[in-house]
Amino acid sequence: MSANYRDLREFVSLLDREGELHRIKAEVSSELEITEITDCVSKAPGGGKALLFENVNDSSFPVITNAFGSERRMSLALGHESLDDLGKRLSSLLEMNPPTTLREKLGLLPELLSLAKCLPKVKRMARPPCQEVVLEGEDVDLGMLPVLRCWPNDGGRFITLPAVFTKSLRGGKRNVGMYRMQVFDKNTTGMHWHIHKDGNHYFNEYRKAGERMEVAVAIGTDPAVTYAATAPMPQGMDEMLLAGFIRGAPVELVKCKTVDMEVPATAEFILEGYIDPEEKRIEGPFGDHTGYYSLQGEYPVFHVTAITHRKDAIYSATVVGRPPMEDCYMAKATERIFLPPLRKIVPEIIDYWMPWEGVFHNIVVVAIAKEYPLQARKVMSALWGSGQMSFAKMILVVDDATLLDKPALLLRRVQDRFDPWSDLVLTEGILDVLDHSASCPLYGGKLGIDATQRMAGEPPRGERAFHCSQSEEILSYLKMLDPSFATCRIVGPTARNPLVLIGLRKGNKSSRYLISKLEGANELMRQGVLLLFDDIDLSNDSLVLWKAFNNVDPLRDVSLDKDGLIIDATKKGTVDGFVREWPDEIEMSRDIKEKVRIRWEELGLKDLL
């Protein structure tokens, strides 16, 4: 396999030949309809197929979605049968030792020459593919692009798969990131880069200097470039070098028409322009990868001075929402590819797993080779201080890597081994911008769980084990305490720590009030670890995990006393003393759902699910 695709369309052709692409010839709308179709297909077993919408009713350009939305397509995109294979390639590069002898230097020449071939190259072309059509000044009109309005409560249409090129004011280092862009009008968009991202770091340089920041945006790049724009590269490292490493060939760049930037020569679309560091505009809301709407906020404004594109350009987009969706497979690639660099920082890590329900930044399960007391806590501290891992809200440490692909066995191991009074680590740190559960934006509680085997030198776990009644008996007892207790389910009733899931109809009652009902109820507290939810379908494991990882701020919502552990994963409001706006969950409107359902056969989707 090879990832050396000249452009997006070469990858699309391969997907077609491999049976991984579904072409939709019927007319569709970029206003919600493409999202609903993509959402349904991407949630099919294995991620469904890539979708090429050939007839979009408000644009002359076709739209591709879900191109990376399966393990198979992600492997094809990055040119390896297994994503771990690419990680091993990266590992061999990182493990190169400096040569000490002439023989060692000569032995390294093939590796160094191979690496040199990955460096991006700026080429002179009379008419590069991405500039077959050039629109400047008054001819610029973002309305020509089939930009999606993804979800009913979105603040507008959003460009969702852009590779955003910026340069540092100091030294001119290039950064390529992926930041959503809300289209405001014919020639301006928002630039939603988060406070922790390199794009924002560079923006602050221009803001402090009072200088205009030039920006270029590539849409519809070859797969390696698209992936590299999402990768958690160390600050100052050029993502185009990573793309070249994946491709095994350099990314060819060409000069822009109106700004001093270089962009991929074979991109489908290029947006050129600038950001005034003193100008901001309200952007959002946006149905985000967390499964919730990210809220409105002030972000920089991107002024488009030129649009260039291929004559028969393909518009590339992604749709994000409650997992699993296309971005989950891109995140899985990052998990596998960046394991070797992570092990360079924390060498005792054997492997790790980031469940989809944790939306990348809420939970990481780490397997270590344990050698000394409290090593699990050392690993937690190391991860909370390392790059993208610093955003992890919860870290679970185990000492058996075989459990990482066996979720049911992993949960049972934790339930049988976990001692709430000695294995919990509660602390505070930075959080992803999109975390809505914390009382303050950008930082909040962190939870660590040490589920490794005790060893000599560590205090033993307590001997206490919980006895568990039937769920019907527990629910009956709960209803006597308060009618707000609505449903109950027991996970692992024979485990040392049964997990009791309780659904609540809170109404105008606070979580604190309802928990107080439980704290004095010793009959109940002997049942196990209590996890409180709103009145949801507790039989849906994925839903339960998604709610638990998204809605808990450990410092506020984890209660441990002499009787046991209670975790509150309910929605918080003013009655709970929560003053931030709690975002709505993403849900498609009924009329769009019905419209797509009626057209299912016409769209050729009957056999895809």
Catalytic machinery residues: 288
In degrees and rounded to multiples of 5, residue 41 shows phi and psi of -70, -40
CA atoms within 13 A on the CB side of 347: 3
Enumerate long-range contacts of 566-570, CB under 8 Å, 24 or more apart.
Answer: 566/515, 566/518, 566/519, 566/529, 566/530, 566/531, 566/532, 567/529, 567/530, 567/531, 567/532, 568/511, 568/515, 568/532, 569/531, 569/532, 569/533, 570/504, 570/506, 570/511, 570/532, 570/533, 570/534
Q: Are strands 50-53 and 21-24 parallel, antiparallel or unpaired?
A: parallel
Q: Can you give the C-alpha Rg of the chain in angstroms? A: 26
Cα–Cα distance for residue pair 487/492, rounded to 1 Å: 17
**Helical H runs in 350-470?**
375-384, 407-417, 420-423
- Three-class secondary structure of residue 216 per DSSP: strand
Q: How far apart are CA 471 and CA 514, in angstroms?
A: 18
Q: Please name which of 288, 250, 239, 599 lies closest in space to residue 435, comparing C-alpha atoms.
A: 288
Indicate the helix (H) or strand (E) that contains 350.
Answer: strand 349-353
The residue among 484, 555, 496, 577 whose CA lies nearest residue 529 is 496
If you search the block for the tokens 């569709």, which residue do you land on?
28
Q: CA nearest 67: which of 182, 177, 226?
A: 226
Q: Could you tell me which of 357, 350, 295 has the C-alpha nearest to residue 324?
A: 357
Residue keyed to tokens 């992604």? 318
Cis omega (within 30 of 0) for bond into 250: no
Residue closest to 326 by CA, chosen among 81, 71, 543: 71
**Number of Cβ within a 10 Å radius of residue 211:** 13
Residue 264 and residue 253 in contact, taking contact as beta carbons nearer than 8 Å? yes
Residue 551 CA to chain centroid, in angstroms?
17
Angstrom distance (rounded) from CA 442 to CA 263: 32
- Expressed in angstroms, the distance from the first to the final Cα of the chain is 28
Name residue 427's beta-bridge partners: 446
Place of tokens 């979605």: 65
Inter-axis angle of helices 326-337 and 83-94, nearest 10: 30
